[in-house]
Amino acid sequence: MQFIHSAGLDDFYRLRQAPTGHRPGEGIAADPSAFADPAVAAQYLERDAAGVAHGSLALDGVGCAACAWVLEHGLVDMPGLRQVDVDLASGRLSASWEASDDVEAARGLTRLLSRINALGFDAVPAQPAHELALHAQQRRRSLTAIGIAGIGAMQVMMLAIADYAGLFSGMALDHRALLIWAQMVLTGVVVAFGARTFFRTAWQTLRAGRMGIDVPVSLAIGLGWGVSALVVLSGGISRGEHVYFDSVAMFTFFLLLGRHLEQSVRHRFARADAELDALLPAAVTRLDSDGGRQSVLPAQLRAGDRIEVPPGGIVAADGRVLEGLGEIDRAALTGESTPLPVAPGSEVPAGSRNGAARLRLEVLRPAANSALAAIPQLLARARARRPRSVHLADRVAGVIVIAVLLIAAVTALAWWFIDPARVLPVTLATLMVTCPCAFALATPVTLTAATLRLRRLGILLVDPTALERAQTLVAACFDKTGTLTEPGNLRCEAVVAGTEAECVNMAVALQQDVPHPLAAAFRRLPVSDRCELEHHRVAAGAGVEAFVNGQRWRLGRPDWAAGGGATSTHSDQPAVCEDGIWLTEAGVLRARFRFDALAGAGAPHGEGLRPGARETINRLKARGLDTAIISGDSSDRVRAVAEQLGITRWWAGVDPASKYRLLQETREQGGALYVGDGLNDAPALGGAGVAVAMASACDFTRSAADVIVLDDRLEAVVDLLEGADRTRRIIRQNLLWAISYNLLAMPLAVTGMIAPWAAALGMSASSLLVLGNAARLLRRDHRPHGAIAKARAWT
Amino acid sequence: MDVIWLLIPLSMVLVLLALRAFVWAVRTRQFDDLDREAARILFEDPKREARPEDMRSGEQRHD
């Protein structure tokens, strides 16, 4: 491999000095000069105080590790460039360069774009609309390829079967020639249009001096068609020699199908920016100093502006409460469902949802600098730094390709001296026998089968390479809220007067239409009858009240519900306290509601262990993994959960950036699995060895994950690891078989002892064996599950 | 069996035509959004009010 590497470096210098491959007009890449206007460029860039501009670009035509390598090394000497990282999974390039002002930043961006074009790739500054258009175009391209390969392969197969039937029942030579010529033309179409993507990637890989699985794939397809065409053109049909057009067409079709599946899952979860923008309100009410109100875009807010957030509204920018007593819900940010009480002076983060009160805030920093806006940037950088995982097949590919070509050359040379008349048939047979078809199929087909199998278990594999990374994992870390725990169930206890059903009915009626997570917990209670209420009103930070037949009913904090007086002014009083939530009629206690809390000291309110959490942790421990909790929550709550689950290592009060760092540190030992669901988990997912998101996570967080658990079943994590073990085992078996078959058959072919029909049979059998072995992953287990329908709905 | 000299080239021409049609369909974005188009029939045309006679004919078909 050493000489490939050195050849690669030479290639790289050649590449850098004489950029080729620019295909103007192809693709939808924008003209770099369109971004020369500082105002336009500024929309896509962020410039920090140190005079460094950061930009993120969506890439097209980057399909392998080698392309990423070419890009990074082709750009590295751009003047002023600080750093460039290519993230293959999302097709993104992130770069930073020195720029003291917007004009310079824009100039850097145009320079970057023209360089990328010169290297033969298309790029646009990442913005949702552009990126989606790029994805749609990629999807159309891959669909066209699949359609051509599929229709073509079916037709070729039909002709081939007629040909095989003729071998047994006899067929006129000219009829056979007709069938084979037809196959040749149709397979030619499949190869030229369907397999183009393999050739293109292989060429880019080779030009970078690297090897990838696409090189043997292209070699197999090219050789299969080329050798068969040579047989036809040299009059091999009349000598009864064999052709391989059917294998080539089917092979191309299978590979394209696998790639398309992988690509469509990836695209589905790559709409990160668009989704994050949707977390913020489209317009905000700004209060002007003269008392006027104005509706503005969140982006127009400046530090010091005063804004008003209506009940149930989303906070658009980090701010400090000026007026209003209420609660905010940070569920979208942290997965934490218990609301946080706020009062004048409290800080509220952008993206949190206001409770029932009307809040007036002073904006602390512009929306673009909020903690919320920092998360995607943090994630983008985390992902770009992630070490590229290289398939085992990619590493062996180079040796195989060189071996095949070398052996063919030596064979041809040897036969030139032995018997010049047999040079062509023997060399062709050798090429066919050593053709790495089975080898090229081994990994992708197995990964496709594994993806389908896991999907049946309710696990969506966004990045199949995660299965290979799973091998080295040393630890499994969990977010607490929403991952190990779920919102607890309310229980009605201590009914002082009346029946339980009456009290529940009343409580649910009181909480109807109240925009508060606690109210949502009440609405999950079973109702037997509807209650008619009058003067329904929400008392911020205290509870809800209404009148029934002239009697005042209250549901909320005990002191407020029991006392007849006005709304309490205690701002630090939590919404749910130790005494539970009281339901009172005219100040008299009727019933108490309480969450099914965790047993043990410091039990969190309104939070229960997710079913299967304990079993999952035990099974992970049995696999020899360290388990840990990394949570943004307070330490006594985290400790309570950790003690319940027997987890000895936990971190509490960790911010997103530190979560990322903690996971990054485990990387040298082999990486950690991370399971999370909050927006604040996104960077941590980017830093994890294998990143798992729960389906309940927001789209943005899911976009950061390698794996998504569709039905929020925590045991899926163990299923994933077990599936990964099996997949790796099968990949290894397949590669071993493919290589040993080629090694065994090779001496026979080289010595001219193998008959053409035997070579064809051997090659097909070898490929089929690989397919069949991979299909073992699809065998149905007896597992009662509703995940199948759900999984279908997702893809 | 001489007819296969005609039939096989003919089948190839048909396949190439089918491929051409498929490529056209993909290029003109027929396959871009399969979910939404499938559901489109369920949505009312926003520009036209439902008229009483439309509803009556619908009921009759149900009977």
Bigger pLDDT: A784 vs A395: A395
In a domain, A256, yes or no: no
> How many structural domains is chain A composed of?
5
The reply to whether residue A185 touches residue B12, judged by beta carbons under 8 angstroms, is: yes
In a domain, A586, yes or no: yes
* A373-397 residue pLDDT tens: 777 766 766 666 655 555 667 777 7
- The pLDDT confidence band at residue A190, using thresholds 50, 70 and 90, is very high
Listed in sequence order, the DSSP H helices in A87-127 are 102-118
CB atoms within 10 A of CB A529: 11
What pLDDT score was predicted for residue B25? 92
Does residue A183 have a pLDDT over 90? yes
What pLDDT score was predicted for residue A184? 94
Average pLDDT for residues A547-560, to the nearest whole number? 79
- The pLDDT confidence band at residue B50, using thresholds 50, 70 and 90, is very low
Q: What is d(CA A415, CA A413) in angstroms, rounded to the nearest whole number?
A: 6
Residues A513 and A552 in one domain: yes
Of A140, A155, A175, the CB nearest to B26: A140
In a domain, A479, yes or no: yes
In a domain, A643, yes or no: yes
What pLDDT score was predicted for residue A318? 85
The reply to whether residue A140 touches residue B31, judged by beta carbons under 8 angstroms, is: yes
Does residue A207 have a pLDDT over 70? yes
Average pLDDT for residues A552-581, to the nearest whole number? 60
Chain B residues with CB-CB distance to A173 below 8 A: none
Residues A510 and A469 in one domain: no
Compute the mean pLDDT over every residue in chain A, rounded to the nearest whole number. 76
Name the 3-class secondary structure at A263: helix
Report which listed range, A55-69, A515-529, A632-646, is most confident.
Answer: A632-646
Name the 3-class secondary structure at A297: coil
What pLDDT score was predicted for residue A90? 58
The reply to whether residue A147 touches residue B19, judged by beta carbons under 8 angstroms, is: yes
Q: Is A291 left (phi over 0), alpha (psi -120 to 50) or beta?
A: left
The reply to whether residue A182 touches residue B12, judged by beta carbons under 8 angstroms, is: yes
Helix pair angle (A437-456, A756-775), 10° resolution:
20
In a domain, A653, yes or no: yes
What pLDDT score was predicted for residue A293? 78
- The pLDDT confidence band at residue B39, using thresholds 50, 70 and 90, is low
Q: What percent of chain A has pLDDT over 90?
A: 9
Give the closest-approach CA distance of B22 to chain A in angstroms.
7
Does residue B27 have a pLDDT over 70? yes
**Contact between residue A37 and residue A109 where contact means Cβ atoms under 8 Å apart:** no
- The pLDDT confidence band at residue B14, using thresholds 50, 70 and 90, is very high
Beta bridge partners of A86: A93
Chain A residues with CB-CB distance to B22 below 8 A: 144, 147-148, 151
Chain A residues with CB-CB distance to B16 below 8 A: 189
Q: CA gyration radius for chain A?
A: 32
SS (H, E, C) A455-490: HHCCEEECCCCHHHHHHHCCEEEECHHHHHEEECCE
Residues A555 and A532 in one domain: yes
Structural domain ending residue among the three candidates A533, A561, A595: A595
Which residues of chain A are at the B interface, by a Cβ-Cβ cutoff of 8 Å? 136, 139-140, 143-144, 147-148, 151-152, 155, 159, 172, 175, 178-179, 182, 185-186, 189
- Give the residue numbers of A marked as catalytic: 479
What pLDDT score was predicted for residue A722? 92
Average pLDDT for residues A510-523, to the nearest whole number? 69
Residues A17 and A121 in one domain: yes
Bigger pLDDT: A63 vs A50: A50
Structural domain ending residue among the three candidates A595, A625, A642: A595
Report which listed range, A156-165, A287-296, A580-589, is most confident.
Answer: A156-165
Bigger pLDDT: A428 vs A405: A405
How many residues are present in chain B? 63
Name the 3-class secondary structure at A345: coil
Of A145-159, A522-536, A606-620, the one with minimum mean pLDDT is A522-536
Chain B residues with CB-CB distance to A152 below 8 A: 15, 19
Cβ pairs A/B, distance under 8 A? 46
Chain A residues with CB-CB distance to B9 below 8 A: 182
Give the closest-approach CA distance of B17 to chain A in angstroms.
11
Chain B residues with CB-CB distance to A140 below 8 A: 26-27, 29, 31-32
Give the closest-approach CA distance of A152 to chain B in angstroms.
8
* A731-771 residue pLDDT tens: 889 888 888 888 888 888 888 777 666 776 777 788 788 88
Of A140, A143, A148, the CB nearest to B19: A148
Residues A19 and A102 in one domain: yes
* A591-611 residue pLDDT tens: 877 776 554 434 445 567 777
- The pLDDT confidence band at residue A42, using thresholds 50, 70 and 90, is confident
Residues A612 and A719 in one domain: yes
What pLDDT score was predicted for residue A307? 87
The reply to whether residue A152 touches residue B1, judged by beta carbons under 8 angstroms, is: no
What pLDDT score was predicted for residue A151? 93
Of B16, B26, B29, the CB nearest to A147: B26
Of A59-68, A211-220, A538-547, the one with minimum mean pLDDT is A59-68
Q: Torsion angle of alpha carbons A15, A20, A26, A30, nearest 10°?
A: 60
Strands (DSSP E) contained in A597-648 are: 607-609, 626-630
Bigger pLDDT: A149 vs A28: A149
Chain B residues with CB-CB distance to A172 below 8 A: 1
Residues A440 and A534 in one domain: no
Which residues of chain B are at the A interface, by a Cβ-Cβ cutoff of 8 Å? 1, 4-5, 8-9, 11-12, 15-16, 18-19, 22-23, 26-27, 29, 31-32
Name the 3-class secondary structure at A115: helix
The reply to whether residue B22 touches residue A147, judged by beta carbons under 8 angstroms, is: yes
Q: What is d(CA A161, CA A552) in angstroms, rounded to the nearest whole number?
A: 84
By CA distance, what is A156's nearest residue in B? Answer: B12
Q: From the candidates B2, B11, B15, which should be mutated to test the interface with A, based on the most A CB atoms within 10 A?
A: B15
The reply to whether residue A189 touches residue B19, judged by beta carbons under 8 angstroms, is: yes
Amino acid at A576: V
Q: Rounded to 5 degrees, what are φ and ψ at A365?
A: -150, 155
Give the closest-approach CA distance of A140 to chain B in angstroms.
6
Of B4, B23, B32, the CB nearest to A175: B4
The reply to whether residue B19 touches residue A140, judged by beta carbons under 8 angstroms, is: no
By CA distance, what is B10's nearest residue in A? Answer: A182
Q: What is d(CA A742, CA A14) in angstroms, rounded to the nearest whole number?
A: 35
The reply to whether residue B4 touches residue A178, judged by beta carbons under 8 angstroms, is: yes
By CA distance, what is A159's nearest residue in B? Answer: B8
Of A136, A147, A178, the CB nearest to B8: A178
ipTM score above 0.95 = no
Beta bridge partners of A97: A53, A81
Give the closest-approach CA distance of B40 to chain A in angstroms.
18
Amino acid at A469: R
Bigger pLDDT: A755 vs A507: A507
Does residue A9 have a pLDDT over 60? no
The DSSP annotation for A185-204 comes to HHHHHIIIIITHHHHHHHHH
Of A143, A172, A186, the CB nearest to B31: A143
**Contact between residue A196 and residue A218 where contact means Cβ atoms under 8 Å apart:** no
Chain B residues with CB-CB distance to A179 below 8 A: 8
Residues A575 and A638 in one domain: no
Residues A439 and A459 in one domain: no
Closest to A660 measured CA to CA, from A700, A632, A623, A626? A632
Residues A638 and A777 in one domain: no
Domain region containing B17 = 4-62
Bigger pLDDT: A178 vs A366: A178
**Contact between residue A57 and residue A71 where contact means Cβ atoms under 8 Å apart:** no
Chain B residues with CB-CB distance to A144 below 8 A: 22-23, 26-27
* A144-175 residue pLDDT tens: 999 999 999 999 999 988 888 887 787 888 88
Strands (DSSP E) contained in A549-597 are: 551-556, 581-585, 588-595
- The pLDDT confidence band at residue B54, using thresholds 50, 70 and 90, is very low
The reply to whether residue A147 touches residue B11, judged by beta carbons under 8 angstroms, is: no
In a domain, A137, yes or no: no
What pLDDT score was predicted for residue A61? 65
Closest to A19 measured CA to CA, from A82, A71, A83? A71
Listed in sequence order, the DSSP H helices in B28-51 are 34-40
Give the closest-approach CA distance of A619 to chain B in angstroms.
39
In a domain, A461, yes or no: yes
Closest to A484 measured CA to CA, from A602, A707, A639? A639
Listed in sequence order, the DSSP H helices in A354-463 are 371-385, 392-418, 423-434, 437-456
Of A195-199, A303-307, A412-416, A540-544, the one with minimum mean pLDDT is A540-544
Opening angle at CA A90, ends A399 and A694, nearest 5: 110
What pLDDT score was predicted for residue A733? 92
Does residue A424 have a pLDDT over 90? no
* A346-356 residue pLDDT tens: 888 887 878 77
Does residue A133 have a pLDDT over 70? no
Give the closest-approach CA distance of A148 to chain B in angstroms.
6
- The pLDDT confidence band at residue A540, using thresholds 50, 70 and 90, is low
* A244-267 residue pLDDT tens: 888 888 888 888 887 787 777 666
Structural domain ending residue among the three candidates A595, A629, A654: A595
Average pLDDT for residues A445-464, to the nearest whole number? 83
Q: Domain containing A683 — which CATH number? A: 3.40.50.1000
The 8-class DSSP code of residue A194 comes to: I
What pLDDT score was predicted for residue B19? 92
Average pLDDT for residues A636-651, to the nearest whole number? 85
Domain region containing A550 = 489-595
CB atoms within 10 A of CB A574: 15
Bigger pLDDT: A47 vs A182: A182
Q: From the candidates A28, A138, A139, A143, which should be mutated to test the interface with B, based on the most B CB atoms within 10 A?
A: A143
Q: What is d(CA B50, CA B24) in angstroms, rounded to the nearest whole number?
A: 36
Residues A399 and A546 in one domain: no
By CA distance, what is A178's nearest residue in B? Answer: B5
- The pLDDT confidence band at residue B62, using thresholds 50, 70 and 90, is very low
> How many structural domains is chain B composed of?
1
Q: Domain containing A529 — which CATH number? A: 3.40.1110.10
Residues A624 and A697 in one domain: yes
The reply to whether residue A182 touches residue B8, judged by beta carbons under 8 angstroms, is: yes
Q: Rounded to 5 degrees, what are φ and ψ at A538?
A: -105, 125
Q: What percent of chain A has pLDDT over 70?
A: 78
What pLDDT score was predicted for residue A164? 82
Give the closest-approach CA distance of A144 to chain B in angstroms.
6
What pLDDT score was predicted for residue A604? 46
Average pLDDT for residues B5-13, to the nearest whole number? 92
In a domain, A502, yes or no: yes
What pLDDT score was predicted for residue A512? 75
